[in-house]
Chains A and B, each alone.
Chain A
């Protein structure tokens, strides 16, 4: 494995620790206020969250197929799968934008206007911490997705110029690693933020 991919893996380790700090904050507060956290689950739309998770998994599949296409010098397939990944990634971000907007409308953004309906008053403060973590963690994740979308666009442009083939596909592989990592972060965010309490179909 060459220097580029080792460099990307090293960078991903820094990302593990970066998100890890927020996971630590989440773990601590959930342990301190389990009931308040569970009470927030009625404000999370599990179906949308699950659907978005599926969307990201699809994007991971297309990304893996894209890397594979580069490895066997099939540029047309590469471009197709990169577009597919871009498509799924964009869907994810659009859905997220709608979710954030819904939270805004329901007064769930932490700060002076934080006012969830039907939440037991003794949980008000601690629920605010959960929502802060929700926005912080999914927001940081979304920023990484947006960067990923930018990187994919770069790859598509370069692929159009026939830059990648079986002798040289390192950038595709590296950006693939980054994309999968962002998917892994969401795989953990989904149960931790959406499935804290119990929900019903």
Chain B
């Protein structure tokens, strides 16, 4: 972003108002910034790199699976899918929306100048980068082959790969996540503008707040799980070693206590984005605003009670399994509430189909499929057949990619004009959205069938009769991989050369649309006083000047 030509003050004032991007230049102003907006962009840059890394592993996995006996050795394959999972989950999905869009928007949406602890915000990015360096180092040295779930005793005793390095990477990324969540929680409690009471907050804020709760309650537990694995690996004490009375399932309990709520860390912010986008492009207040807000909190809390549904067949008590299965059915309810409410929002709304809205439509459909297929897995009887198969893989990719990544793209497009002050190319955006949708479905729908037919996951080879479906899936993955690059290109292009827009190109409601695009460093010239309810939408104005 540094330029060599620095316009004089008067020239700059004549050409472009001061905003958070041009107020300072040079690498120090970025690496030592405490401005939440700049930190959001630092994160955006880093997680995009990690997304590309994780995506590269995905392509290699899918290439390998075009052949029943595979292209690479089984050991290599184990490392490929493990690194895909580790990088995507810990370094892309968990931070994604909160650290980028959340960081950027949360203070603005509640009328604040910045987050409660700006320096801790910067620290969180450095923690993330530290973790990412460990992960990249592990990759460079040959990767880890335990699966992203690091199950003992393989990870503790038998694996010859860089488990400790990868675990440390995840550990630091976890602390980055904790500090982000802590910041969000304190900010929402303490820094709302006058008149911004809880029931006037945008649903994006509710979503990120609920996510912050999960981050602070769950992440420390996986931190301990990783520490125990690390110590066990180094000292061979026996805490998870059955030979000396240890129990590998204890690791799974401690691990999944975080990792299940982690999936809600991943999806809740996406749901927040979708609420905002649907409201704007239906020109309507979200149906049942209170219920959507409450369901975010409900998902956050209930999400902590269901971790054992990952362990139905690994040896935990059947009775505990019954309890977990029962509770898992409950956690589907708040998600369903949201889907119904989004649909009801569109009913009798004035719907238009700009690119963010296309992504929102995709989200509703794909997330619903992903969520419903989760019910087959939460039913213990069917889970016995489906656990460890491609059915599970398809399920979580539908919710995480079809849900979360799609929501992330929706949010990036929706708020891109606010972030950089310029508009991207709408035709390219629509094309990319449709291509992503097509590529995604071609990749993962066959995997439901494969799982149902019994193809196990994490296996380097499979029976030849599954090859056709696998090749279809790889074809879809190739399309998807290319399709993901398209937004990266036109959004970057728009950043530098796109047509400039004013504060509110979408005629949206919300405090972020009342300030200039891009915003100034402290967001508001004067702290706003909020007098109207959120989402005070009316019909679009005819000759609106954005």
Contact = CB atoms under 8 A, between A and B. Distances in A.
Interface of A: 2-3, 6-7, 10-11, 13-15, 17-22, 24-25, 28-29, 32-33, 36, 110-112, 125-126, 128-129, 132-133, 136, 140
Interface string B112-135: 000011000000000000000000
A25 B217 contact: no
Given A6-B189, A125-B245, A126-B245, A18 B223 contact: yes
B231 interface: yes
Contact of A132 (B182, B218, B239, B247): B239
Given A3-B116, A111-B236, A128-B238, A14 B246 contact: no
Contacts of B189: 3, 6
Given A25-B254, A28-B250, A33-B245, A132 B237 contact: yes
24 contacts: A3-B116, A3-B186, A3-B187, A6-B189, A7-B117, A7-B183, A10-B185, A10-B186, A13-B216, A17-B218, A17-B221, A20-B221, A21-B254, A24-B250, A25-B239, A28-B250, A29-B245, A36-B245, A110-B238, A125-B243, A128-B237, A129-B238, A129-B239, A136-B228
Contacts of B185: 6, 10
A36 B257 CA distance: 28
B457 interface: no
A28 B247 contact: yes
B224 interface: yes
- Which 3 pairs, one residue from A and one from B, show the smallest C-beta to C-beta distance? A21-B224, A18-B220, A125-B244
A3 B245 contact: no
B332 interface: no
A110 B247 contact: no
B540 interface: no
B244 A128 contact: yes
Contact of B238 (A24, A28, A125): A125
A112 B243 CA distance: 14
A14 B176 CA distance: 13
Contacts of A15: 220
B244 A10 contact: no
Given A13-B216, A110-B235, A126 B244 contact: yes
Contacts of A11: 182, 216
B125 to A, nearest CB: 18
Contacts of B227: 136, 140
B105 interface: no
Contacts of A25: 228, 239, 250, 254
Contacts of B186: 3, 6-7, 10
A6 B190 contact: yes
A10 to B, nearest CB: 5
B167 interface: no
Nearest to A131: B237
A20 B304 CA distance: 14
A112 B237 CA distance: 8
B191 interface: yes
B225 interface: yes
Contact of A7 (B116, B225, B228, B238): B116
Interface in B411-470: none
**Interface-centre pick from A21, A24, A28, A111 (highest chain B CB count, 10 A):** A21
A129 B254 contact: no
A125 B246 CA distance: 9
Given A17-B217, A18-B223, A128-B244, A24 B190 contact: no
Contacts of B500: none
Contacts of B117: 3, 7
Interface string B129-158: 000000000000000000000000000000
Given A24-B254, A126-B245, A14 B220 contact: yes
Contacts of B183: 7
Interface in B170-220: 178, 182-183, 185-187, 189-191, 216-220
B253 interface: yes
A140 to B, nearest CB: 8
Contact of B246 (A17, A19, A129): A129
A35 B104 CA distance: 56
Contact of B245 (A7, A17, A22, A129): A129
A21 B229 CA distance: 13
A68 B257 CA distance: 39
A66 to B, nearest CB: 24
A3 B191 contact: yes
A128 B217 CA distance: 30
A32 to B, nearest CB: 7
A90 B501 CA distance: 61
A32 B221 CA distance: 22
**Interface-centre pick from A17, A19, A32 (highest chain B CB count, 10 A):** A17
Contacts of A22: 224, 228
A14 to B, nearest CB: 5
A177 to B, nearest CB: 14
B509 to A, nearest CB: 28
B247 A32 contact: yes
A29 B247 CA distance: 9
A7 B189 CA distance: 10
Contacts of B235: 110-111, 132
A177 B380 CA distance: 44
A182 B530 CA distance: 42
B504 to A, nearest CB: 30
A76 B245 CA distance: 55
